[in-house]
Structure formats: structure tokens, C-alpha cells
């Protein structure tokens, strides 16, 4: 499996590229509208096809690049089925592996940060990789005070779906705000200040309900835009409109990116 962890620095979002060496198919987990062109260059430089974009949840802190990647490269938009998004090409749900070439992604329904959040588990010959979205972050977790968040539900998701995995499971989070890139289930069970050391559900709920985090600066346009797979709504402020440019240009009218590099 070809694997790359890519960063969108404005929202500190990690996008993950998984590519099948045998078939050339690839999937981008949680790509961001601001870095779609960069991601496409990476995919093509590795000799992969931009087959799918896949979401963990309806993001509030950035616009997804799903629609833009589809416009640029004809990738298919994949989201959790229970999001019921008309703009999506395919839906995923727990219990039904999603295949990208010979790679199998196992969706895990992990609500709490949002009510339809999914994580993805991938088993390679040597490692088990968990793409935890915003349910579990490195020594942290996603906030539960917006959208359909609920701390008791998140506690249950993490304990039932994540902390039952092997300690050696590699955890790749949806964000990190301090430049850290990876953790493990074992480390989080031990060290996570909100959940580790068998922290009780009551203690977790208290921590999450008293965080006093600032209002998310992009939520007012990100949530409506992401329910349309990354369409830029009219209320996107001028400062954030740059990446909105190309997304409505029909695919047939585009010159494939990096065309000159393919020979
Ligand atoms: Fe999120």
C-alpha cells in the first residue's frame, strides 16, 4: 500500500492518501478544498489514479475538497451513508468494507464529535492503521459543543470502537495543532489527558463541557458547504474564497492537471 500523510496548515487538517500498488486506485481521506491541487500532484507523481475522496464527517473547520477534486480529476465522492448527501456518489457504513483496489477500509460508526462520524480501519500485512477522524486526536479528541456533538456518546464510541483495538494499532488523527503526526491506541489509553488511565465517563463529560473553546471561525460556511460536498456558499468571506475558484467548471472543459508530466 502506498501511504502519505498530507497537511493543510490553515485548519491543521491531515489528509491521508492510500494507494493500491497493484491497481493504481487511490483514496483521499478528508481532503481540503485549499490543498486539492497539491494533493492531485502528489497522487499523479506516485503514478496513482485519483479514484475516490472519502469523508469521516461533515467538517465545521474547513471546506472539503471532494467536489473540487471531482471537478478537476473525476474522482468519486464517498461519504458515510447516514449523511444522506445527494451530492455523493457512494455511501459507506459499518460492517461493509470499502475497497480501493486491493485495500480494504473498514468503516467504524463513531458518533460524538458529530452524530454521523465514521473512522476507518485498514489492515496491512504488518500494521493496523486507524484513521480516527476527529473522534480521537493525539492526547485530545474532537470538540463536542457544536453540530450534533455529545460527550457521553463520544466517550462510548472511543471506548467501544477504539480502545478495544490492539494497543499497537497506529492512530492517524484528523488534526493536530502541535505538529504531531501519529499515536497508538496503547499510548492514548495511557496518556490521553481526557480519556487515559481509565478516566470515567463523568470526568470526561465534565472536561468536555467546561472547555470554553472559541466559536469555530469557518463553521458558518463550512457546514452548509460540506453538506453539499464542498460547494462554496455565498457567505464564504473574501479571505477564504480563493480555493473556491475552479470547482464549478465542468470536468470536460478542463485540461488534466500535470498533463505535461505524464510522458
Ligand atoms: Fe471535525
The CATH number of residue 47's host domain is 3.60.15.10
- Does residue 253 register a pLDDT over 70? no
CA of 43 to the centre of ligand 1 (A): 24
The pTM of the full predicted model, rounded to 2 decimals, is 0.92
What is the pLDDT averaged over residues 85-101? 98
CA of 155 to the centre of ligand 1 (A): 16
* CA count, 13 A, side-chain hemisphere, 180: 13
CA of 58 to the centre of ligand 1 (A): 7
- The pair phi, psi for residue 111, each rounded to 5°, is -70, 165
Which pLDDT value is given to residue 132? Answer: 98
- Does residue 251 register a pLDDT over 90? no
Domain count, the chain: 1
Which pLDDT value is given to residue 248? Answer: 54
CA of 177 to the centre of ligand 1 (A): 13
Which pLDDT value is given to residue 258? Answer: 41
* Domain membership flag for residue 133: yes
149 burial class (0-12, 13-18, 19+ CB within 10 angstroms)? buried
What is the pLDDT averaged over residues 176-191? 97
* Domain membership flag for residue 150: yes
CA of 114 to the centre of ligand 1 (A): 8
| Mean pLDDT, the chain, integer | 93
* CA count, 13 A, side-chain hemisphere, 248: 6
- In this predicted model, what pLDDT tens digit does every residue of 1-53 receive, in sequence order? 999 999 999 999 999 999 999 999 999 999 999 999 999 999 999 999 999 99
Q: Look up residue 230 and give its three cell numbers.
A: 464542498
CA of 88 to the centre of ligand 1 (A): 19
* Domain membership flag for residue 128: yes
- Residue 256 — very low, low, confident or very high, per pLDDT cuts 50/70/90? very low
Rounded Cα gap, residues 201 and 251, in angstroms: 49
CA of 61 to the centre of ligand 1 (A): 6
- Residue 124 — very low, low, confident or very high, per pLDDT cuts 50/70/90? confident
CB 19 within 8 A of CB 48: yes
Which pLDDT value is given to residue 254? Answer: 43
* Domain membership flag for residue 232: yes
* Domain membership flag for residue 152: yes
Which pLDDT value is given to residue 257? Answer: 39
Q: How many CB atoms lie within 10 A of CB 250?
A: 7
Nearest to 31 by CA among 16, 50, 12: 16
Percent of the chain with pLDDT over 70: 93
In DSSP terms, 32 is beta-bridged to 64
**In sequence order, which ranges of the chain are alpha helices (DSSP H)?**
36-45, 66-73, 151-157, 185-191, 201-209, 219-226
Nearest to 173 by CA among 208, 143, 136, 140: 136
Angle, to 10 degrees, between the axis of helix 66-73 and the axis of helix 36-45? 50
* Domain membership flag for residue 161: yes
* Domain membership flag for residue 91: yes
CA of 117 to the centre of ligand 1 (A): 9
CA of 111 to the centre of ligand 1 (A): 11
- The pair phi, psi for residue 207, each rounded to 5°, is -60, -50
* Domain membership flag for residue 53: yes
Give the domain extent around 73.
Answer: 2-247
Edge-to-edge order in the sheet of strand 13-19: 2-8, 13-19, 26-29, 52-54, 76-80, 90-92
CA of 133 to the centre of ligand 1 (A): 7
Nearest to 52 by CA among 73, 69, 23, 76: 76
- In this predicted model, what pLDDT tens digit does every residue of 129-145 receive, in sequence order? 999 999 999 999 999 99
CA of 47 to the centre of ligand 1 (A): 30
Rounded Cα gap, residues 29 and 132, in angstroms: 11
What is the pLDDT averaged over residues 86-105? 98
Amino acid at each position: 500500500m502506498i501511504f502519505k500523510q498530507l497537511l493543510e496548515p490553515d485548519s491543521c487538517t491531515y489528509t491521508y492518501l492510500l494507494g493500491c500498488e497493484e491497481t493504481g486506485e487511490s483514496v483521499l481521506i478528508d481532503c481540503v478544498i485549499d490543498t486539492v491541487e497539491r494533493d492531485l500532484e502528489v497522487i499523479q507523481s506516485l503514478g496513482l489514479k485519483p479514484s475516490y475522496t472519502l469523508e469521516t464527517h461533515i467538517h465545521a473547520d474547513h471546506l472539503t475538497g471532494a467536489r473540487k477534486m471531482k471537478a478537476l480529476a473525476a474522482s468519486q465522492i464517498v461519504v458515510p451513508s447516514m449523511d444522506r448527501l445527494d451530492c455523493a456518489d457512494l455511501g459507506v457504513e459499518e460492517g461493509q468494507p470499502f475497497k480501493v483496489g486491493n485495500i480494504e477500509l473498514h468503516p467504524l460508526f463513531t458518533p460524538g464529535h458529530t452524530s454521523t462520524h465514521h473512522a476507518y480501519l485498514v489492515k496491512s500485512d504488518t500494521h493496523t492503521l486507524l484513521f480516527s477522524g476527529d473522534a480521537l486526536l493525539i492526547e485530545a479528541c474532537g470538540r463536542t459543543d457544536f453540530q450534533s456533538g455529545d460527550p457521553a456518546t463520544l466517550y462510548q464510541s472511543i471506548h467501544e470502537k477504539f480502545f478495544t483495538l490492539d494497543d499497537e494499532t497506529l492512530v492517524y488523527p484528523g488534526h493536530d495543532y502541535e505538529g504531531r503526526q501519529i499515536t497508538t491506541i496503547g499510548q492514548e489509553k495511557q496518556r490521553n489527558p481526557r480519556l487515559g488511565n481509565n478516566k470515567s465517563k463523568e470526568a470526561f463529560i465534565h472536561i468536555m463541557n467546561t472547555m470554553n473553546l472559541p466559536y469555530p471561525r469557518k463553521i458558518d460556511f463550512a457546514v452548509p458547504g460540506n453538506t453539499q460536498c464542498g460547494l462554496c456558499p455565498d457567505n464564504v468571506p473574501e479571505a477564504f474564497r480563493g480555493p473556491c475558484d475552479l470547482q464549478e467548471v465542468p470536468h470536460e472543459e478542463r485540461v488534466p492537471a500535470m498533463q505535461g508530466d505524464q510522458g
